[in-house]
Amino acid sequence: MLKLNKISKRYGDVWAVRDVSLELARGEMLVLLGPSGSGKTTILKTLAGLEIPTAGEIWVEGVELSGVPPHRRGLGMVFQNYALFPHMRVKDNIAFPLKMRRSWSKGEIAAMVEDILRIVQLEGYGERYPTQLSGGQQQRVALARALVFKPPLVLMDEPLGALDKKLRSAMQLEIKRIQTQLRLTMVYVTHDQEEALTLADRIAVMNLGRIEQIDRPESLYEHPRNPFVADFIGESNLLAANLLGRTDSKCLVELAGGVRISYVAPEGWLAGGGLVFVVRPEKVVIGTALPVDTRRLEGHIENVIYLGETVKYLVTVGPELRIAVKEQITGAKGILAVGTAVQIGWHDDHCRLLPRGTAEVAPRAEP
């Protein structure tokens, strides 16, 4: 359905996007995820024809779109601010792209509008004006307008950014329901990792104008390729590490302050520094007397953060090493107090040793 071939975009001396290539299957939802200035919105604008790439090709359904103006690309677009016409009723806002294309009769247009209103669950709202709708209802109208003419590809630029958290969570499920029901091919831009994990069939994590990793949500979370992805998707303990050596199946890893642990490292890894040991807080077990086969490190609780369903501990191990731990709150165990001596551990398949990379946030490249 969609193919980007080495897309690059430069503003003066700044590369907003550099050598981005990817393919998207029909009916697939791809989320571009990254911090501000990572290039995700620039990619969306090049797809829409609002920006002309400095280099590269864009193919949609086998057609190369270089030189094709935005209004002739036939793509659906949903903006963050909805861009609804305040003087038009809901049904007229939705019908607008149909009237501009002049391919349907009035009766066909009316039927298509009613059909899409039913799909976005706004039956009976056609006579209202945008100012008479809630934020979530306006967002559904914007989505209906982008879908009513059945575009081959739908582009969404942080469409839920203006909504409160509860409504945003509800709308994420609605968008996914509609995308699945209609088998839409969609490119969705966000900086919200929870939103990306909820919506995506695949996620492309972007930084400094490049794709750091593109994969299924669960693969990105469990198997990050580098420290930037591990840090941006979810929460991670990123611990500077040195590989001291290895025996038959395990190696000896040194963390900050000389703390040493054993780890099953990939074959071919040589002793040396410049590594990052990664373990997620929810993968770490904590207690005052853990079983011997799970025990790794001993320390004491420096800080306790109550998060409602979970509690987060900051555990100090030695003078230089601090590890975050997150666990569900249960009545049986309760919450451990600051200063408590504890043991923490994890299973080998819940941690990773990665080459050290940068996790800086890119300076904003878009003008």
CA distances to 76, 156, 234 from 98, rounded to whole Å, are 12, 19, 41
- The owner of tokens 């800080």 is 303
Greatest mean pLDDT among 7-11, 255-259, 292-296, 359-363: 7-11
pLDDT(270) > 70: no
The confidence band for 195, taking pLDDT boundaries of 50, 70 and 90, is: very high
pLDDT(290) > 90: no
The predicted structure's pLDDT at residue 45: 94
Task: Give the residue with greater pLDDT, 367 vs 125.
Answer: 125
Percent of the chain with pLDDT over 90: 69
What type of residue is 364?
A: R
What number is the average pLDDT over the span 4-15? 95
pLDDT(196) > 90: yes
DSSP state string for 252-321: EEE-GGG-EEEE-PPTTPPSEEEEEEEE-GGG-EEESS--GGG--EEEEEEEEEE-SSEEEEEEEETTTE
The predicted structure's pLDDT at residue 123: 93
The predicted structure's pLDDT at residue 367: 29
Cα 280 from chain centre? 17
Asked whether the beta carbons of 178 and 143 are under 8 A apart, the reply is yes
Burial of 263 (0-12, 13-18, 19+ CB in 10 A): middle
User: Of all helices (H) and strands (E), which one includes residue 194?
Assistant: helix 193-199
Tens of pLDDT along 307-334? Answer: 988 999 999 998 889 999 999 987 777 8
What number is the average pLDDT over the span 331-342? 88
Paired with 354 in beta bridges are: 276
The predicted structure's pLDDT at residue 295: 64
The predicted structure's pLDDT at residue 357: 58
Tens of pLDDT along 78-130? Answer: 988 888 999 999 999 999 999 998 889 999 999 999 999 999 999 999 999 99
The predicted structure's pLDDT at residue 12: 92
What number is the average pLDDT over the span 22-40? 95
The confidence band for 35, taking pLDDT boundaries of 50, 70 and 90, is: very high
- The owner of tokens 């809901």 is 90
- Token readout for 252 is 């000896």
What number is the average pLDDT over the span 283-291? 87
What number is the average pLDDT over the span 129-145? 92
Paired with 156 in beta bridges are: 78, 188
What number is the average pLDDT over the span 57-82? 91
pLDDT(207) > 90: yes
CA dihedral 171, 163, 111, 47 (to 10 degrees): -90
Distant-in-sequence contacts of 8-15, Cβ < 8 A, 24+ apart: 8/53, 8/54, 8/55, 8/56, 9/39, 9/42, 9/46, 9/51, 9/53, 9/54, 10/54, 11/365, 11/366, 11/367, 14/365, 15/209, 15/365
The predicted structure's pLDDT at residue 222: 92
The predicted structure's pLDDT at residue 293: 66
The predicted structure's pLDDT at residue 358: 44
Length of the chain: 367
pLDDT(364) > 80: no
- Token readout for 282 is 């929810």
* 14-23, 53-62, 200-209, 236-245: range with lowest mean pLDDT: 236-245
Residue 6's nearest CA partner among 75, 54, 72 is: 54
What number is the average pLDDT over the span 215-240? 93
pLDDT(34) > 50: yes
Mean of the per-residue pLDDT values for the chain? 89
